[in-house]
Amino acid sequence: MSEFDLTGRRIWVAGHRGMVGAAVVRRLSTESCAILTVPRTEVDLRRQAAVEAWMTKQRPDAVVLAAATVGGIQANASRPAEFLYDNLAIEQNIIDAAYRSGVTKLLFLGSSCIYPRLAAQPIDEESLLTGPLEPTNEWYAIAKIAGIKLCQAYRRQYGCRFVSAMPTNLYGPEDNFDLLSSHVLPALLAKIHRAKIEKKPSVEIWGSGTPLREFLHVDDLADAAVFLLRRHEDDVPINVGTGVEVSIRGLAEAIAKTVGFTGSFTFDASKPDGTPRKLLKVDRLAALGWRSRIPLEQGLEQTYRWYLENLSRDGVRERR
Ligand code: GFB
SS (H, E, C) 20-60: HHHHHHHHHCCCCCEEECCCCCCCCCCCHHHHHHHHHHHCC
Q: Enter the pTM of the model.
A: 0.96
At residue 314, the pLDDT reads 52
Ligand 1 geometric centre to CA of 71 (Å)? 8
Please say whether the beta carbons of 148 and 128 come within 8 A: yes
Task: Please give the distance of CA 19 from its chain centroid, rounded to a whole number.
Answer: 8
Where in the sequence numbering do the catalytic residues fall?
140
Q: Which of 112, 134, 183, 239 to mutate to test the pocket of ligand 1 (most atoms within 8 A of CB)?
A: 183
Q: Which atom of ligand 1 is nearest to the CA of 168?
A: 36
pLDDT per residue over 231-250, tens digit each?
999 999 999 999 999 999 99
Helix intervals (H) in 198-295: 218-231, 248-259, 283-288
DSSP one-letter code for 280: B
At residue 311, the pLDDT reads 82
Q: Residue 122, preceding bond cis, omega within 30 degrees?
A: yes
Considering Cα of 121, then 123, then 129, then 134, what sign does the dihedral take?
positive
Residue closest by Cα to atom 20 of ligand 1:
184
pLDDT band at 318 (very low <50, low <70, confident <90, very high): very low
Cα–Cα distance measured from residue 207 to residue 254, given in angstroms and rounded to the nearest whole number = 18
Whether residue 2 has pLDDT greater than 90: no
Q: Which of 73, 145, 277 to mutate to test the pocket of ligand 1 (most atoms within 8 A of CB)?
A: 73
Q: What is the rounded average pLDDT of the residues 158-184?
A: 97
**CB within 8 A of 48, min separation 6: which ones?**
89, 92, 93, 96, 97
**Which of 120, 205, 220 has its CA nearest to residue 169?**
220
